[in-house]
Structure 1
Amino acid sequence: MERKLKTSTKLVLTIILMVLIGFSLHLAQRFASDYIKLLLNLMAINIIFAVSLNLINGITGIFSLGHAGFIAIGAYIATLLTLPISQKEISYLVKPLIYPFNSIEMSFLPATVIAGLVAAGFGYIVAAPSLRLIGDYLAIATLGLGEVVRIIANNAWSITNGALGLKGIPPYTNIYWSWGWAFVTVFTIASLVNSSYGRALKAIREDPIAAKAMGINVFSHQVMGFVIGSFFAGVGGALWAHLITTIDPKSFGVTKTFEILIMVVLGGLGSITGSIFGAAIYTVGLEYLRILESPFKLGRITLPGIPGMRMVVLSVILIVLMLFWRRGLFGRNELTWDLIANFVRRLKRGESHG
């Protein structure tokens, strides 16, 4: 018989876990190599992307393929707000930067929040008409709107510097910023999902008609879920831009959305824990398989590196995974303290019987 832990016990365990994670990240920021720091930052940013998209696709039940557009909006807005004025004068050679961006320079935190709010505003503008559609039509509409953002960025020379992109972005993103925002994202969305509002979103996902019959305002709930997901996508875009320090419209193509969708599906649609693990596995796996793109030895045989081979291998692994775990690693389940405690009890019982 499975037993549940006391609420106080769960709280203590959660605090201990947060302290251990925070201390480990602090040590990594101080002593880890630049490569490890980059990997940890990318992992945190991908967690933000995956959890925010999972709120839209997995929990709210909206099949959106336009996440890259909101990431682009957040990246450009935050960059325009933090880029030094002198750097802006050097970068905008074809057309001068428009007012008020040409005279604004602010710190990273308010710029990140503003970037998220602007992305959320565009999310509302997109959601209001698009959510009148359903199924494949909605997916095509959001995919097209994401491409519209990229094309506008490619041609709005007086705002985005067009195809030349923006370089020399201040490298503000570090482990504290990226993982701090990752914790905020997970905590906010998990709290939302576990609230009555989240239960309404799940009811809409399962059966919109039945949810409407129960008195749930389906349209407003879906719009709100879309807007919140867009906000955190914008925040993640701001962090990403200030990590790689250079952005251009090609960085925000439809491939970016599909990469995030892979993380979500890998972990399990509807599972926040799954999105976290999916993002971590994808980030580490993508970097680990980089060895396939440079010459390497397999026993006594030296094999030449093949550019793009890591994506092929990763795709094959994901296909195999989907064949055996069609709902992802976690499905719609979450990794909880009760689940861990019951697993440990079963192990102990097995050892005692053995």
Structure 2
Amino acid sequence: MNETQRNLGTYLKDHWKTIVFLGIVLLGIGLADIFVDSYLRRLLNLCAIYVIVSLAMNLVNGFTGQFSLGQAGFMAIGAYTVAVLTVPIESRAAIFYLEPMAPFLANIQLPFIVALILGGFMSTAVAFLIGSPCLRLRGDYLAIATLGFSEIIRIVFTNTQSITNGALGIKSIPTISSLWWTFGIALIIIIATILLINSSYGRAFKSIREDEIAAEAMGVALFKTKMTSFLIGAFFTGVGGGLFAALLGTVDPKQFYFTLTYNFLLIIVLGGMGSISGTIIASFVVTLGQEALRFLDEPMAFGLDLPIFRPGLRMVVFSFLLMAIVLFYRKGLMGTNELTWDFIADKYHSIKQALSKNKTSVEGGDKK
């Protein structure tokens, strides 16, 4: 047996649980893609997109410790890039009826995957321009600056009629319905994020989060490392925005208000700032939870003449539930921990020990 075979055998022995779990996940995606209805498929696609964008935000906010609120703007760049470059050429005259599409774009149509990657790079390019001045700020000042630039991006898209069709938005975008697009790309980004965080770059990100002065004293280039995290997060967010546009089949500036960023901030706070698995879990909890409580937006009179429940109660109830979770889990569901096999085993043994102690105390009380 040569060295390569021995290394492969050791890797499979150490990671067989993860490989089996990944196989089950892929099998589940395939079965869901075949058997679930269009409504649930759309909801699951949205969950996967939220995983992508939330991971990108957690990379900057959770792992690097920079309070950035520009996700909606970067998402808009990716969405509009996919929209402009994938809409069929024969449909553009009907979409851009107030003002013709810019000549340098009018006859360009790219495959979806090419436009999606290009959308990520466009977001990265804009993030470089924004990050150069903004990342020299800290804390609330950085949050305000990135939030302001996000709104500037949205307003620019509203006023560039010949490129983005202004406030009317762009329709007839070729849609995706298969779960393989969103979940496949989400899995790639999850794996890439795990590898990044466990590399020397990831350790540099965490050192800046813990103490910038100490990190700089140890030789970490603060601005370069912050910019690296910011650009990678912008790329992932642009890809998520492109998937978002292809899922809905239409984009307009109203979809990218700054309130969209708060959804992702809610996810990373709920899941745990600095936890990949926590972000994934919280993305599904928030997205599916908001949809499960949608019935609260329907008027309910309970036999009276006036409706008791008005539209908007869904978010009120959901906010109270999240407040309760935050009160009991102040660092989020996972904190800075990851859902590893060792973590699951430790939790299992601690619960088992607690149950055995309770059983012993109950039996001792009965004997007395």
What TM bracket, shorter-length normalisation? over 0.9
Picking from 160, 163, 167, the partner of 2:167 is 163
Q: Is the partner of 2:260 in helix, strand or coil?
A: helix
In 2: Cα distance, 1:304 partner to 1:110 partner:
50
Question: Relative to structure 1, is the Cα distance of residues 197 and 316 closer, same or farther in structure 2, using a 3 angstrom cutoff?
Answer: same
Residue type at the aligned position of 1:273 = S
Matched, 1:39 2:34: no
Contiguous gaps of at least 5 residues in structure 2: 1-9, 360-368
Counterpart residue number, 1:100: 104
CA contact (8 A) 2:41 2:177 kept: no
Query: Which protein is bigger by CA-based radius of gyration?
Result: 2
Q: Show CA shifts across 1:256-309 (max 9, x none).
A: 001111011110111111111111100010000001112469899x96552122
2:366 paired residue number: none
Residue 126 (str. 1) matches residue 156 (str. 2): no
Map 1:243-282 to 2 at 5 A: 243-282=247-286
Cα distance in structure 2, aligned partners of 1:174 and 1:252: 24
- Offset, 1:331: 1.0
The one of 69, 86, 110 equivalent to 2:114 is 110
Change (3 A) 1:284 1:298: farther
Q: Which of 224, 227, 236 is equivalent to 1:223?
A: 227
Q: CA RMSD in A?
A: 2.1
Q: Is the 8 A contact 2:120 2:237 kept in 1?
A: yes
Q: Shift of residue 342 of structure 1? A: 2.6
Structure 2 counterpart of 1:333: 337
For 1:77 and 1:115, locate their aligned partners in 2 and report how far apart those are by CA, in whole Å.
5
Count of paired positions: 349
User: Aligned partners of 1:285 and 1:267: how far apart in 2?
Assistant: 14
Whole-angstrom distance in 2 between the partners of 1:119 and 1:233: 8
Letter of the 1:49 partner, please give it: V
CA contact (8 A) 2:164 2:170 kept: yes
Q: How do 1:81-100 and structure 2 match up within 5 A?
A: 81-100=85-104
Q: Which of 131, 152, 156 is residue 148 of structure 1 equivalent to?
A: 152
How far has the Cα of 1:323 moved from its partner?
A: 2.2
TM-score normalized by the length of structure 1: 0.93
Q: Does 1:213 align with 2:217?
A: yes
Change (3 A) 1:348 1:331: closer
Q: 2:242 maps to what in 1?
A: 238
What letter is aligned with 2:125?
Answer: G
Where 1:167 maps in the other structure, the secondary structure is coil
Distance across 2 between alignment mates of 1:188 and 1:299: 55
Pairing 1:318–2:318 present = no
- 8 Å contact kept, 2:272–2:333: yes
Contact 1:52 1:185 in 2 (8 A): no
The letter for the 2-side match of 1:114 is L
TM-aligned CA deviation for residue 324 of structure 1? 2.2
Counterpart of 2:142?
138
Does residue 288 (structure 1) correspond to residue 292 (structure 2)? The answer is yes
More displaced 10-residue stretch of structure 1: 320-329 or 45-54:
320-329
Hey, what does 1:66 align to over in structure 2? 70
SS, match of residue 123 in structure 1: helix
Deviation at 1:156, TM superposition (A): 0.6
Cα distance 1:323–1:342, how it changes in 2: closer, same or farther (>3 A)?
closer
Give the CA deviation at 1:73.
0.0
User: In the aligned structure 1, how far is the partner of 2:332 from the partner of 2:193?
Assistant: 20
Asked whether the 8 Å contact 2:299–2:311 carries over to 1, the reply is no
Give, in whole Å, the separation in 2 of the partners of 1:249 and 1:152: 9
Per-residue CA distance 1:301-352 (angstroms, 9 max, x = gap): x965521221111111122222222211111111111111233344556677
Give the equivalent residue in structure 1 for 2:60: 56
Q: Is the 8 A contact 2:83 2:251 kept in 1?
A: no
Q: Aligned letter for 2:46?
A: L
1: CA distance, partners of 2:233 / 2:247: 21
2-structure distance, mates of 1:134, 1:206 = 14
CA contact (8 A) 2:301 2:309 kept: no
Is it true that 1:14 corresponds to 2:18 in the alignment?
yes
- The equivalent of 1:343 in structure 2 is 347
Structure 1: unaligned runs, 5 residues or longer:
1-5
CA contact (8 A) 1:169 1:242 kept: yes
